[in-house]
Amino acid sequence: MKPKVITIDGPACSGKGTIARRLADRLEFAYLDTGMLYRIVAYADTDPGNFAVFSARDVLSIADSAPEGILRSDAVGRKASEIAVLPQVREIITKLQRDFIAHPGDGYAGSVLDGRDTGTAVAPDADCKIFVTADLEVRAKRRFDFLKETNPNLTFEEILQSLTLRDEQDQSRAIAPMICDDNYVILDTSLDSPEESVAKAFEIVRRKLDRPLENECSD
């Protein structure tokens, strides 16, 4: 049977990562954080002498050696958004994602992907597509609260500016921009706790797949 595909797209700090991970856990589907692939390439590109055209093997070997904290940083996120406009980068990362969807791994009946273009460019035929969003100020506050302990000099305004810039870059790029079209179910998390958002996402998936989900269990 063809593996099921659930795509969760949306802007930075909308809550899509938490929702996608929790959905994957609950359904026992494989999970792929596609933003991390762009972050890995962006991080690699900051080192001198790096390759100009990335292969899937290159991306995976960098993932193994790069420190997790650096990959998650705001600076690498901004850089990821810059390199995400390059056709050669999008091509190799899109291919990686399609291979993942086709072969999610032993024991997985499907996959959950989170990103910006997973329901449009990567898997337009996905079984369920959710666009997760939240007000810009709410997203900036989430990011600020997350980073302020480790980075006390960071201001809320800097975060707001950085998110605004990334939203603009992600929405306006020529190839595979972040667009919320009619095929998505929109989930606004501005007023909800992570648990409430996950519960709503799970209901959307259940309705879309139009049958009780096989691996359903409470978490």
How far, in Å, CA of 76 to CA of 72, rounded? 7
Q: Cβ of residue 129: shortest distance to ligand C5P, in angstroms? A: 13
Is the Cβ of residue 15 or residue 35 nearer to ligand C5P in the bound state?
35
Token pair, residue 154, equals: 């960071």
Q: For ligand C5P, which residue of 7, 18, 118, 189 counts as binding (CB under 6 A)?
A: 118
95, 176 contact by CB (below 8 A): no
Q: Restricting to residues 34-63, which ones interact with ligand C5P according to CB under 6 A?
A: 34-36, 38-39
208, 185 contact by CB (below 8 A): yes
How far, in Å, CA of 213 to CA of 47, rounded? 45
The beta-strand segments (E) located in 89-155 are 110-115, 128-133
Which range of residues in 19-27, 52-60, 110-118, 144-152 is near ligand C5P by CB under 6 A?
Answer: 110-118
Is the Cβ of residue 15 or residue 77 nearer to ligand C5P in the bound state?
77
Q: For ligand C5P, which residue of 81, 133, 162, 197 counts as binding (CB under 6 A)?
A: 81
Strands 185-188 and 128-133: parallel
Note the residues at the interface with ligand C5P (CB under 6 A): 12, 34-36, 38-39, 77, 80-81, 84, 115-118, 166, 170
